[in-house]
Amino acid sequence: MNFNLKPVFFFCSILFLVTCQSQTVKALESKSQKIVNDTTFVNLKNYSNDFVYDMKYANSDNFLKAKVYDCAECFLRFKTVKALIAANDSFIKMGHKIKLFDCYRPLDIQKKMWKIVPNSSYVADPSKGSIHNRGGAVDITLVDATGKELDMGTPFDFFGLEAAHNYPNFPQEIKDKRELLKTVMMENGFNIFDSEWWHYNLKSALNDKVSNTKWKCD
């Protein structure tokens, strides 16, 4: 008997991928023991233990020189959490992890930042809102297996030309690290912000409403 197995194999492969993705989403949702809407704000720590945190605005180690968050938590809309975990899973296979500097930012915090630095070159005008206020943006870098940050050429929240994705005057090694970060994040549904190598927006969150949802600190 001679027949072509390729269509059957292709169908089974697609079915396997869809099933795995479905199981991943269900596994994430089961952690809260209920079906979670994609636009619901959730704490990333409740869905993964595989991230490193340095929430800059929960202390004064930032360009504002002021603490504006009451505590260091990373809240995001659930769809952003799912995309971020998928990206981090890819990095983990390469021996890296995502380190987070900032996540969702309530509008009241945006107003507080604007009061300290009322300059749209550095802080989004709260009258318009930021993608951070929508729960769809993260500020990140990568760390190696020891927890050491990869050299991306500039620190987080560096406001010079060197922070731009396309800045040409870096050694190839730094360019490659930035490109790795960008490639994996974009493969998982994020867009870049041209002038800040650390800032990523979830494409499907760009039209979500600005929010002032807040969380309780322990």
Looking at every residue in the chain, the average pLDDT score rounds to: 89
Section 173-191 average pLDDT: 98
Predicted pLDDT at 28? 58
**Per-residue pLDDT at 20:** 45
Please check the confidence at residue 21 and state whether its pLDDT lies above 50: no
Would you state the structure tokens that stand for residue 131, as one six-digit string?
A: 């993608």
Average pLDDT over residues 116-124: 94
Segment 180-191 shows an average pLDDT of 98
Q: What pLDDT, on the 0 to 100 scale, is given for residue 218?
A: 80
Note down the domain range covering 90. 35-205
Any domain includes 133: yes
pLDDT in tens, 141-153: 999 999 999 999 9
Check residue 35 and give its pLDDT. 83
Domain contains 172 = yes
Is the model more confident about 131 or about 218?
Answer: 131
pLDDT of residue 19: 42
In a domain, 59, yes or no: yes
In a domain, 72, yes or no: yes
Q: Is 96's pLDDT higher than 70?
A: yes
Task: Please check whether residue 47 lies inside any domain of the structure.
Answer: yes
Inside any domain, residue 71: yes
Look at residue 10 in the predicted model and tell me its pLDDT. Answer: 39
Specify if 213 maps to a domain.
no
Q: What is the predicted pLDDT for the residue at 7? A: 44
Is 20 within the bounds of a domain?
no
Q: Domain total for the chain?
A: 1
CATH of the domain at 135: 3.30.1380.10
With bands split at pLDDT 50, 70 and 90, how would you rate the model's confidence at 46? very high
Q: Average pLDDT of 151-169? A: 97
